[in-house]
Amino acid sequence: MVDTEKFYDYLITKNLDFFAGVPDSLLKNLCSCIKEKSDKTHNIITSNEGNAVALASGYHISSGKYGVVYMQNSGIGNAVNPLLSLADEEVYSIPMLLIVGWRGEPGIKDEPQHIKQGKVTIELFETMGIECVILDENYQEKIDYCYKYISSNNKPIALIVKKGLFTEYKSSKPINNYLITREEALETIVDCLNENDFIVSTTGKTSRELFEIREKRKEKHSNDFLTVGSMGHTSSIALGMSIGSENNIYCIDGDGSFIMHMGSFAIIPTVAKQNFKYILINNGAHESVGGQPTVAFNIDIQKMLLSLGFKNVYIAKTNEEIKKYMNNLKNGELQALVIYTKLGSRDNLGRPTISPIENKKAMMEKFRN
């Protein structure tokens, strides 16, 4: 294993002290260490991975120093455009160190949404002309190589991190004083729906908890689309689903997902029918990948959605308020419900036991019955 704090300290000795990215479960210990030991202008948790590449680019242009961009390999897609049209050596030729968690590594058991990405991670970088270095216990040697490479070639290089490589790093996690858990909020939401209402739930623990709620109730999963991947696209999936159906479609989103592709909400009010219902569960953190904070508590989501064209945006902090506003949400023009919850989930929280394809087929059959 690699000692997390020593790894961070060695980066600093190389003057690699500007960090930007989206947290990843494989990098959660490193992300926690960076958060604890860097000031807020030198560790920026970005809305998506492309933003992080752009930040590192701007920082290099003004300072001459090299930025460090961290991400899960699922975030490569968000980073492709700025990597190829900004940082590439045939455009602006901007060096930076990419630290990438290798979810779905071939031969390592992982969730379905990571399998394909894991298979093509190295190939994707190679196709973009970005060299990959797989990190191991000889981290100083690897960092030295990467530093020399970006210095000599003025282009990015990717340091690939396997599962379980970094030692545990305990740090303070964001806390809030809200009263209910996300799972309690989900239970209340489900209580308010009928058999012809459909849910599109966001990636991470939200979909896992929704699946287990249905299991506990001995209910089928055909009314729920569990968005196990595609972070940030839940609202667009739900919008498309609502256009293709007359049933009520409830999008249950998370704050990290909402922030990642916030531009979708400029489009939704221009085309959404009355059957599109938006619910945002906000706990102020990327909880599914280690609890790193989001900026969701620093922005007025209610005013933002209203300014974009939502007719009503309700705020709930208790189960009683959820019940009240879910009733309002059922009728009328485009509306949203923002639910504030505390951090935390059950230690024994499971994962869906049906495949994504089975989930899709069951929902499509339900739509047609």
Question: What pLDDT sits at residue 65?
Answer: 98
Question: What pLDDT sits at residue 288?
Answer: 82
24 and 145 together in one domain? yes
Q: What is the per-residue pLDDT across 24-45, written as a single tens digit (0 to 9) for each?
A: 999 999 999 999 999 999 999 9
Along the 369 residues of the chain, how does pLDDT read in single tens digits? 999 999 999 999 999 999 999 999 999 999 999 999 999 999 999 999 999 999 999 999 999 999 999 999 999 999 999 999 999 999 999 999 999 999 999 999 998 889 999 999 999 999 999 999 999 999 999 999 999 999 999 999 999 999 999 999 987 766 788 999 999 999 999 999 999 999 999 999 999 999 999 999 999 999 999 999 899 999 999 999 999 999 999 999 999 999 999 999 999 999 999 999 999 999 999 988 878 899 999 999 999 999 999 999 999 999 999 999 999 998 878 999 999 999 989 989 999 999 999 999 999 999 998
211 and 155 together in one domain? no
Question: What pLDDT sits at residue 12?
Answer: 98
- Could you tell me the two tokens for 361? 């087929």
- Could you tell me the two tokens for 120? 């093509």
- Could you tell me the two tokens for 70? 């961290």
Question: What pLDDT sits at residue 287?
Answer: 86
For residue 257, which of 237, 242, 272 has the smallest C-alpha distance? 237
Among 161, 195, 224, identify where a domain stops: 161
Question: What pLDDT sits at residue 165?
Answer: 97
Question: What pLDDT sits at residue 316?
Answer: 98
H helices then E strands: how many in the chain?
Answer: 14, 14
Residue 366 is classified by DSSP as H
Q: What is the CATH number of the domain that holds 154?
A: 3.40.50.970
8 and 83 together in one domain? yes
Say if CB 164 and CB 331 are below 8 A apart. Answer: no
335 and 214 together in one domain? yes
Question: What pLDDT sits at residue 361?
Answer: 96
C-alpha dihedral, 351 to 356 to 361 to 367, nearest 10°: 70
Say if CB 1 and CB 20 are below 8 A apart. Answer: no
340 and 220 together in one domain? yes
Whether residue 174 lies inside any domain: the answer is no
Q: Which domain holds residue 263?
A: 182-368
Total number of domains constituting the chain: 2
22 and 96 together in one domain? yes
74 and 124 together in one domain? yes
pTM: predicted TM-score of the whole model, two decimal places:
0.94
Among 161, 193, 223, identify where a domain stops: 161
25 and 82 together in one domain? yes
| Alpha carbon distance 348, 215 (integer Å) | 14
- Could you tell me the two tokens for 334? 């485009």
140 and 246 together in one domain? no
- Could you tell me the two tokens for 313? 């945006």
Whether residue 176 lies inside any domain: the answer is no
- Could you tell me the two tokens for 285? 């953190």
Question: What pLDDT sits at residue 171?
Answer: 79
56 and 128 together in one domain? yes
| Alpha carbon distance 189, 200 (integer Å) | 12
Whether residue 171 lies inside any domain: the answer is no
Whether residue 282 lies inside any domain: the answer is yes
- Could you tell me the two tokens for 322? 């959820």
Contacts of 172 (CB under 8 A, 6+ apart): 36
Question: What pLDDT sits at residue 289?
Answer: 85
Question: What pLDDT sits at residue 168?
Answer: 96
Whether residue 166 lies inside any domain: the answer is no
Question: What pLDDT sits at residue 332?
Answer: 77
Whether residue 169 lies inside any domain: the answer is no
| Alpha carbon distance 289, 129 (integer Å) | 29
